[in-house]
Every structure is written in structure tokens, then in C-alpha cells.
A and B are shown apart, each in its own frame.
Chain A
Amino acid sequence: MIFLIAAKELKSMFAAPLAWLILCIVQLLLAWIFLSRLDTFLLLQPQLIQLAQPPGATELILAPLFGSAAVLIMMSVPLLSMRLIAEERRNQTMPLLMSAPLSMTEIVTGKFLGLVLFLAALIILTGLMAFSLSAGTSPDLGVLIGNLLGLVLLSACYAALGLYISCLTAHPVLAAVGTLGALLGLWVLDVSASTPESLLSWFSLLKHFESFNRGLIDSADVAFLVLFTFTFLALAIRRLDADRLRG
């Protein structure tokens, strides 16, 4: 049932031009960043060789590429997540799901999975772009995998938050603005943090991606991102259940 709902979400996403456009624009921007980084790297290479421990192509090209991908995905999630529940409410299609023999958990998980699968496609495309470096050099596969894993976990957080905010309203645009605001807020949260250990910086989502970006899979970061995702999924389930109770 969960997969059925996820498949329906994916189908609806690809039935509209928005999803294609987002895929296209994000890939285009990332390709631009990738190529300009590659250019800089080739330009600097003669000087880098003179260093005792020169940074490799992975550090100079891939890390910034995935860092940008994390921000671009953050910007695109609100546009994709806004329709998950809000649009069903606006089009009054919720009764189809509500009267089918499904639990709220199945509905929410299915919709979440649909969005994460879409984002995973976007991440895999980015991974392939990065992997194309192996044509000229041997990129650090560990860093590559760490980044991909980090991006998937991070996208799951974005998607869960977006899904929850989409549950709060019947207006997709409101959901999009709300989600964008929340995500940007979580991004810049650590600006006002006085020390790196402060609570504010702990809640900054992108901070938790930094270790993945260096190729480090830190269990504390994994736990934070997974917990964040589950929290917002649980909130979304509760919110939908409240619909039935409050009417």
C-alpha cells in the first residue's frame, strides 16, 4: 500500500511539468558548478603539485559540488512537497484515501517515500556527474558514497518537514512558502550561534551535512537526521488524524 501511494505520487509529479523543470534546472546549475570547479582545478593543478600534501580532485571539485546540491535540493523541496497533502485537500481528493482501508501512517509514509524517491533520482544523477571524474582521475569513492548518503538523509529531513507543513493547510502556495521559510531558517540558525557547540548550531540541518561532505559518516549526524525525519513524519500523521477528529 505504501509503495502504491508512493508510485501514485511519483506519477502525479512527473505528469506535471514542474518536476521535470526542477530536475532540469538543478542539473543544469550543478553541471555549471561542476565544470567551473573542474576548470579552476585544471588551472591550479601545476601549483598544487608543489604542495607537500596537495588536495585532490575529490576535495576541490566534489565537496563543493555536493555542498551546492544540498542547498539546491533545499530550495526545490518546498515546490515539490507543497502539493502532497495541501493539493489533495484543495481538490477534495482526500476522501478517496480516507475511505480506503488505509491507515494514516500508510498514507503519510507513502507520500513521503514518493518525494524521497524523486529526490533520490536527482541525487543519483548528481552522483553520476561526480563519477564522470573517473574518466580522468580516480575520485575518492568513500567521499562520494558519504556525500550521497548524506544527501539522501538530508533530503529525507527536508521532505518530512515539507510534508508536515503541507498537512497544515489547504493552500499549496502557503505550504511552499512555509516550508521554504522553515528550511532557510534551519539553514541560517547557526549564524547567531556563539560557539560551534551551542544548541542553535546543533539544530542547523546543513551543519549535520558537513561531516558527510568531508567523507565522514558520523553516527551522531546520522541519528540526528533520522530522528528529525521521524519526528516530522509522526507530527504529520497526528495532524491528519486530527482532521478526522476535528472535521
Chain B
Amino acid sequence: MAPAFPTTTVFAHQLSRWFGARSAVQEIDLELKKGEVLGFLGPNGAGKTTTMRMLTGNLAPSAGTINICGIDLLDQPKAAKQLIGYLPENPPLYRELNVDEYLTLAARLHRVAKSALHDSVERTKQRCGLNEVSKQLIGSLSRGYQQRVGVAQAIIHNPEVVILDEPTVGLDPIQMREIRVLIRELGGTHSVILSSHVLPEVESVCDRVVIMHLGKNVYSGSIEALKQLREGHSLELGLRNPPELSQLQLQGVISVEKVNDTLFEIQYDPGNDPSEELVKAAAERGWGLYQINRRQTSLEDVFVQLTQQE
């Protein structure tokens, strides 16, 4: 099947993969447009890595088609792979080479023209902040730098599609932020697919998200829609001088649950948010309000919701 628009960079149709009798990925449909960042979200074993390996030609799908910028990956693997940059879960680094040697090798393996070789290595090092470690052996670099080298090899040939499998795993918060900024930047000119099991990460860098569970696509949509889905309808209320539970039953409150002596969880009717009333009542009656916040549903809750919907 041909992609729907000329700007579509990745088009996967009914992608499935079995390992023996075990099904790892079932009938996944994907479409990615130029300049878009798509997040793959899911618990471990959801089939994210398997899908990514299929999209990059590392694993043959049991069924389905993959189209990269109009080129069928299974029919013309060489031409299609030229357009993809891939960072697997474990960055494929040759520890015995230094950063310059490794990036030059990666560029040449991706058929970067000899004349453009030097420029693309320098530009990529600049982008990934690798200039100061150019001559160091990869084996001697810290985990964060190794991860950056991994990202660098994925973008060195300026591919249309960049696929990053858990790019921020094992990094410290500052490095994570740097990588996220880089990914956002990449999203402007390339199409990016990244996988993660950290929800905030996906929220901060992705335009769209696909949630996978047990090999199935359980949710696919924009980040905004996901955020709404995540907002539960419960409040966390902290009171130093709590009244009787019955007094908290204001209009709109469905149920009140005591978490501990001063903390309460309040389920409310979505159309009738009691927050304001609660604050007012707390001030008037001297309950000693010290905390009130809308509880964000955890990723787990979202999964439970989504999987139950199916």
C-alpha cells in the first residue's frame, strides 16, 4: 500500500511478528510525517523494541509492510536503510575505536560521500557535544558520552527518519535534558520515533504518542489527548485539623477516602469540580488546609484504563 501523503516518512501497515508460537507484535499500523516526533510508550515487553527493530530492517516482520519515504523496506532494503538512523537499546559502539574513527566508520557505512565525510563528522560532533572527546577511545567514555556517540551515529548521515530506542536510559538528569533538547531539534528537520517507558519524557518531546501493551497498539493520538486522559478526577487534600468525613461531602464530591490522619483522597464528578468550595470551606471552618492538588493518574493507571477499554 502506498503512503497517503508525499510527506509521510514512515508508513507501516499491519505489522506483526511472532517468535515461535509467541506473538510479540500484533497488527501495528504506524504513520509518521516529516518533522514529527512520535513517542512509543509501553511497559517492558510491550513490543516497542521489536517494532523498532522491524522498522530499521534488523528483524524481518512475520506479516505486514513497511514503507520508508515511499521505498519498501523489504523490497529495497539498501535504499530504505540509507534513509534511517537507528540507535538500539544498547548503543552499538566499538570500544577499541576513538570517537572520530567510529563516527567516520559509521558515516562511510551509511554511504556518506568521501568529500562530505569530514563535514558531517564535525557537524554531528558539534550537535551532540562530542568535540572535547574526539580523540578518546569509546571504551573509556562515561555512559552519558557513550549514549551521545550512539545518537551521533544514528544521525551522521542526515537520515530522513531517526529511530531511538530508549535514548535517555542510564543518563543523569542534566544529560537527559540535553538529549531531549537534541531530539526536539532533530524533530524540526527529521522524523523521529523514540521509545520510552517514562511518560513525562514522552510528553516533553513528542507530538504524538503510540502506547503499546502486550504487542498491541492500545492508544494512538496526540499528546494533548493523552494529557486529558491522564487527568483523573480525584483530589488530594491535606488538612491539619480535619473535620468529620461527612463534612467534606460538598457538592460534586462522590467519595472521600482517608489516606492517613491529615490526608484525604476525594473522587469528584468531572462536571462539578469541588476544589474551590473545598478551599473556601477550609478557610471558613479552620481545617488548616496545607495541600490541595489534582492527582495525575500514573502511567500504570493509564495502561489499566487503556487495556480495559480494549
Query: Which A residues contact B (CB, under 8 angstroms)?
Result: 1, 4, 8, 11-12, 15-16, 91-103, 244-245, 247
Contacts and interface: CB of A to CB of B under 8 A. Distances in A.
A223 B49 CA distance: 45
Contacts of A1: 109, 111
Interface string B66-96: 0000000000011101101110101011111
A101 B96 contact: no
B96 A95 contact: no
Interface in B100-154: 101, 105-106, 108-111, 153
Contacts of A247: 17, 19, 50, 53, 59
A244 B59 contact: yes
Interface of B: 17, 19, 50, 53, 56-60, 77-79, 81-82, 84-86, 88, 90, 92-97, 101, 105-106, 108-111, 153
Contact of A101 (B82, B90, B93, B105): B82
B78 A15 contact: no
Given A95-B58, A245-B60, A100 B90 contact: no
B87 to A, nearest CB: 9
Given A99-B81, A103-B78, A244-B59, A16 B105 contact: no
Closest A-B pairs by Cβ, 6 of them: A96-B92, A100-B109, A15-B96, A93-B92, A99-B86, A101-B78
A99 B57 contact: yes
A101 B110 contact: yes
5 contacts: A12-B96, A95-B58, A99-B56, A102-B81, A244-B59
A59 B147 CA distance: 59
A94 B86 CA distance: 12
B192 to A, nearest CB: 15
* A11, A93, A96, A244: most-surrounded residue (chain B CB, <10 A): A96
B109 A93 contact: no
A4 B108 contact: yes
Contacts of A91: 92-95
B95 A100 contact: no
A102 B109 contact: yes
Contacts of A94: 92
Contacts of B50: 247
Contacts of A244: 57-60
Contact of B79 (A96, A101, A245): A101
Contacts of A97: 109
A98 B111 CA distance: 14
A11 B108 contact: no
A92 to B, nearest CB: 4
Given A8-B105, A101-B82, A244-B57, 19 more contacts: A1-B109, A4-B105, A4-B108, A91-B92, A92-B90, A93-B92, A95-B56, A95-B86, A96-B106, A98-B58, A99-B81, A101-B77, A101-B78, A101-B81, A101-B109, A101-B110, A101-B111, A244-B58, A247-B59
Contacts of B96: 11-12, 15-16
A102 B108 contact: no
Contact of B88 (A12, A92, A100): A92
Given A93-B93, A247-B19, A100 B81 contact: yes
* A4, A244, A245, A247: most-surrounded residue (chain B CB, <10 A): A247
B105 A95 contact: no
Contact of B94 (A12, A95, A99): A12
Given A16-B96, A100-B109, A95 B88 contact: yes
A96 B153 contact: yes
B72 to A, nearest CB: 14
A82 to B, nearest CB: 16
Nearest to B79: A101
* B50, B106, B109, B110: most-surrounded residue (chain A CB, <10 A): B109
Nearest to A102: B109
Contacts of A11: 96-97, 101
Contacts of B19: 247
Contacts of B109: 1, 4, 96-97, 100-102
Contacts of B92: 91-96
Nearest to A16: B96
A83 B78 CA distance: 26
A35 B275 CA distance: 97
Given A8-B105, A95-B86, A100 B94 contact: no
A98 B57 CA distance: 7
Nearest to B154: A99
A97 B93 CA distance: 11
Given A4-B109, A93-B93, A102 B78 contact: yes
A4 B112 CA distance: 13
B167 to A, nearest CB: 14
Contacts of B60: 244-245
B138 to A, nearest CB: 11
A4 B110 CA distance: 11
B149 to A, nearest CB: 11
